[in-house]
Chains A and B, each alone.
Chain A
Amino acid sequence: MVMGVPPKGLCRHFSQQGIDLNTVYDSTTVRSPVIAELVDLWRYRDLLRLLVTNSIKTRYKRSALGVVWTLLNPLLNTLVLTIAFSQLLRFNLKNYSIYLLTGLLFWNFFAQTTVQAMNTLIWGSSLLRRIYVPRTIFAVSVVGNGLVNYLLALIPLGVIMLVMRHPFRLSLLLLPVALLLMAMFTLGIALFVSTLAVFFVDVVDVYGILLSAWFYLTPIIYPLSIVPEKFAAFIRFNPMNILLEIFRSLIYYGEVPSLLKFGGAALMSVVSLLVGWWVFTRKVDEFAYRI
């Protein structure tokens, strides 16, 4: 039982002239929902683009300082935390601000995107109960939105690097690959928690608590070296750390991570995405009954 995707050749939804009369929706067509959803998402790619651009537009439209805030926010945040941690805890890291901001930007992307995906799905549910659109489109658009915000936030990071005379290395060229992995990992988790959130109201709260614990279990504000030996392995193999280490290497240390590290991160991201996508698309037909 699969969300219908027309057999090959019939699946062009719209022809140049307007409507293709062969558009067929057949609820029995046997095709994995995992793939069917992907095909439909591609069909609705223009909607996806609009959802991303609109949410950016509405976010910045009403306040003149909108864009400025996005740039200023991480700067001020970093300033506060830099003062707090470098003076009080003395981690003894060179250019601690950059170390910190690399972690914060990565974390913010992950945390904000997953939480927003849940909320957007609950918001989008009114739409899903009335009209057909690919159901993953909300989570994917939130990830796209997060990526745009992340890229904007790289500007203040660059400014800080310039000011602190931190070297810009060629390893930065690999950043898009790291972003792709980050997006895949995050989308997987976002889809998984959204599925749960549709069925249980308290998931949003529970997830919030989990997130704050996860934040401290990831070496974002502190270096791995201060972690006592017996916990180090636990923290090192925390999935968020595996991804974060990639970002740190590329931006902060200016090194290309080992193939093993890259491969590990890639494998983890792919698994996260596949599991999240699989769970979501399998349960998605029940959404219309639930939300």
Chain B
Amino acid sequence: MSLLTASKPSSSLTVDASLPVIQVNRVSVRYRVPQERIPSFKEYAIRFVKGQIRYHEFWALRHVNLEVHPGEVFGIIGPNGAGKSTLLKVVARVLRPSEGSIRVRGRVAPLLELGAGFDSELTGRENIYLNSAILGYSHRETERRVDRIIDFAGLHEFIDAPLRTYSTGMVARLGFAVATDERPEILIVDEVLSVGDAEFQTKSFERIQSFQGAGTTILLVSHSLERVEEMCARALWLDHGKVVALGLTKAVVDQYVGRVVEAEAERLTQEAERLAQENTAPEAITRWGNRKVEIVHVRMTDETGTEQTIFRTGLRLHLHMDYVTQGPVASPIFGIAIYRQDGLHITGPNTAFSDMRLPTLEGQGTVVYTIPCLPLLEGLYYFSVAVVNQDDTEIYDYQDRVVPFRVVNLGEGVKERYGLLTLQGEWRHQTPNLT
């Protein structure tokens, strides 16, 4: 993977490395959405005459400037709906800019739509010809390529069977093989490329690497900042169709993460305030107990001791519970619970389970619970905090889901992408011993 880090100019003599391969000049793309859907021609005619057709305009891209040079691996990041796909479509010639201009030098292979136009009634071989023609290759060229394509896709036995008999993985392999048989000048990759089984993934990844080595420019859109940081030398951050930042990937990604964290922190502060307000309401059911021991303040800190509401998977989290007692209280039990946003109870450790016997408490103090290596994946979670008597028969203070916190996954060795937990597991491969 590290092969893809540097952006080196192409070794190919035919490319004039001084000229950008993609030149985007103040490109804007405007969608005109009729305010109401006018489905019929009759309606349209009536309203047209009355002058009642109103459009809601929105700019999917606004004044985007960008130059990408030969051999560069360029990343595009941004939240959903930022205009990333629209930009790719403009480069792939599917959408024409409403304003501004675009110049693209060289063949563009969009890996967005593998197997565009595949026909399930036709055989694999016939589909190679069809898909290849859609990508702009002539019949003669495809004849030359077809055996290589079948080879790469590993579909020898099935190539003359109709496509409808193929598995999804086989179709994807065929699509990838056709799209990448010849090295394009520009490769557009949307999201993580995961085609077929592990073996084929390695093969396809190697192929992309070899393209890059040979001077192909790669345009990568990904939600995985880790992947972008790993592959791209430069990156563009789009938001609401506008360029927020453009430059070296590290700087752009840092800025982006900063903004995301900032926005999230603000939201969580509001959320906490809202919860606090609800708690003070007389009918609050998120807090109960006789308050012989009262948890007066809860805060979270990260590995550096800084107070935080956002944590990274795999890093340290400390939960501090400041308490005040009414007179001496013998060995109370402190406990917490973690809930996911949707109410899933994840776990609930307490001091008694951990065989920790607190002394008799009087006055103020703090109990800290430390998670050395936060296993939660991306999402919004809540802490509940509680303190009960030593036999767990009397509740002093129970605060249900009062402390929201957000977990973000920014890589750092976390392998899981979906779900709840990271297991820090390891993979191994064995072959049966035949001797």
With a cutoff of 8 Å between Cβ atoms, the chain A residues found around residue B137 in the complex are: 14, 46
Interface string of B123-166 (1 = CB under 8 A from A): 00010011001111111011000000000000000000000000
Q: Does A165 contact B (CB under 8 A)?
A: no
- The answer to whether B134 and A47 have CB atoms under 8 Å apart is yes
Q: Give A58 to B138 CA distance when docked, in angstroms.
A: 22
How far apart are B90's CB and chain A's nearest CB, in angstroms? Answer: 8
Q: Give A49 to B142 CA distance when docked, in angstroms.
A: 14
Q: Does B96 contact A (CB under 8 A)?
A: yes
- The answer to whether A131 and B182 have CB atoms under 8 Å apart is no
Q: Give A23 to B182 CA distance when docked, in angstroms.
A: 15
Given known contacts A14-B137, A58-B122, is B106 in contact with A288 (CB within 8 Å)?
Answer: no
Which of A18, A27, A127 is the one whose CB lies under 8 Å from B103?
A: A27
| CB-CB nearest in chain B for A26 | B103
Interface string of A238-256 (1 = CB under 8 A from B): 0000000000000000000
- The answer to whether B96 and A285 have CB atoms under 8 Å apart is yes
- The answer to whether B112 and A130 have CB atoms under 8 Å apart is yes
Q: Does B92 contact A (CB under 8 A)?
A: yes
How far apart are A144's CB and chain B's nearest CB, in angstroms? Answer: 14
Q: Does A226 contact B (CB under 8 A)?
A: no
Stretch at the interface among B113-121, B197-205, B332-340: B113-121
- Number of residues in A with C-beta < 8 Å to the partner? 43
Q: Give A50 to B117 CA distance when docked, in angstroms.
A: 12
- The answer to whether B113 and A44 have CB atoms under 8 Å apart is no
With a cutoff of 8 Å between Cβ atoms, the chain B residues found around residue A132 in the complex are: 92-94
Q: Does A57 contact B (CB under 8 A)?
A: yes
With a cutoff of 8 Å between Cβ atoms, the chain B residues found around residue A201 in the complex are: 39-40
With a cutoff of 8 Å between Cβ atoms, the chain B residues found around residue A1 in the complex are: 96
Q: Give A4 to B184 CA distance when docked, in angstroms.
A: 19
Interface string of B25-45 (1 = CB under 8 A from A): 000000110000011111010
How far apart are B212's CB and chain A's nearest CB, in angstroms? Answer: 16
Q: Give A225 to B18 CA distance when docked, in angstroms.
A: 75
Q: Does A172 contact B (CB under 8 A)?
A: no
- The answer to whether B92 and A127 have CB atoms under 8 Å apart is no
Q: Give A54 to B121 CA distance when docked, in angstroms.
A: 9
Q: Does B107 contact A (CB under 8 A)?
A: yes
Interface string of A52-65 (1 = CB under 8 A from B): 00100110011000
- The answer to whether A203 and B41 have CB atoms under 8 Å apart is yes
Q: Does B314 contact A (CB under 8 A)?
A: no
- Number of residues in B with C-beta < 8 Å to the partner? 50
Interface residues of A in 1-24 (CB under 8 A from B): 1, 3-4, 13-14, 18-19, 21-24
How far apart are A205's CB and chain B's nearest CB, in angstroms? Answer: 9
Name the residue among A21, A26, A43 with the largest chain B CB count within 10 angstroms: A21
Q: Does B417 contact A (CB under 8 A)?
A: no
Which of A19, A130, A196 is the one whose CB lies under 8 Å from B183?
A: A19
How far apart are A142's CB and chain B's nearest CB, in angstroms? Answer: 15
Q: Does A89 contact B (CB under 8 A)?
A: no
With a cutoff of 8 Å between Cβ atoms, the chain A residues found around residue B32 in the complex are: 289
Interface residues of B in 216-256 (CB under 8 A from A): none
- The answer to whether A24 and B110 have CB atoms under 8 Å apart is no
Q: Give A23 to B136 CA distance when docked, in angstroms.
A: 12
With a cutoff of 8 Å between Cβ atoms, the chain B residues found around residue A200 in the complex are: 38-41, 44
Q: Give A25 to B97 CA distance when docked, in angstroms.
A: 13
Q: Give A75 to B142 CA distance when docked, in angstroms.
A: 41
18 contacts between A and B (CB under 8 A): A21-B14, A21-B105, A25-B93, A25-B104, A27-B96, A27-B103, A28-B103, A47-B133, A47-B134, A57-B126, A129-B89, A131-B116, A132-B93, A133-B134, A200-B44, A201-B39, A288-B95, A289-B31
Q: Which residues of A contact B (CB under 8 A)?
A: 1, 3-4, 13-14, 18-19, 21-28, 43-44, 46-47, 49-50, 54, 57-58, 61-62, 127-133, 196, 199-203, 206, 285, 288-289
Q: Which 6 A-B pairs have the closest CB atoms?
A: A47-B133, A132-B93, A200-B41, A130-B113, A202-B40, A28-B101
Given contacts A19-B106, A130-B112, 16 further A-B contacts (CB under 8 A): A14-B141, A18-B141, A19-B183, A25-B102, A43-B136, A44-B136, A50-B130, A54-B122, A57-B126, A130-B94, A131-B116, A133-B134, A200-B40, A202-B39, A288-B89, A288-B95
